[in-house]
Amino acid sequence: MTTYPEDGSPARGNGTGETGEEWGTRAERTPAPTLLQVGDAFPTDALARSGAALLGPAVVYFYPKDGTATCTLEAAAFQRAAQQYQAAGVQVVGVSTDDDESHACFARDQGIGFHLVSDPDATLTAAVGVLEDYGEHGELAARVTFLLDGSGTVRRVFEVGDDVTSHPEAVLAEAQRLGLAWAEGPSS
Compute the CA torsion angle 152, 180, 79, 158 (nearest 10 deg): 70
Q: Is 71 considered catalytic here?
A: yes
Helix (H, G, I), strand (E, B) or coil at 165: coil
> Is the Cβ–Cβ distance between 125 and 144 less than 8 Å?
no
Cβ–Cβ < 8 Å for 39, 49: no
Planar angle of CA 75, 50, 124, nearest 5 degrees: 75
Question: Which member of 52, 71, 130, 157 is catalytic?
Answer: 71
**Residue 2, CB half-sphere, CA atoms under 13 Å: how many?**
21
Residues 6+ apart with CB under 8 A from 163: 1
Pairing of strands 91-96, 115-118: parallel
Measured CA to CA, the distance from residue 29 to residue 171 in angstroms comes to: 22
Q: How far apart are the first and last CA of the chain?
A: 35
- Catalytic annotation, residues: 71
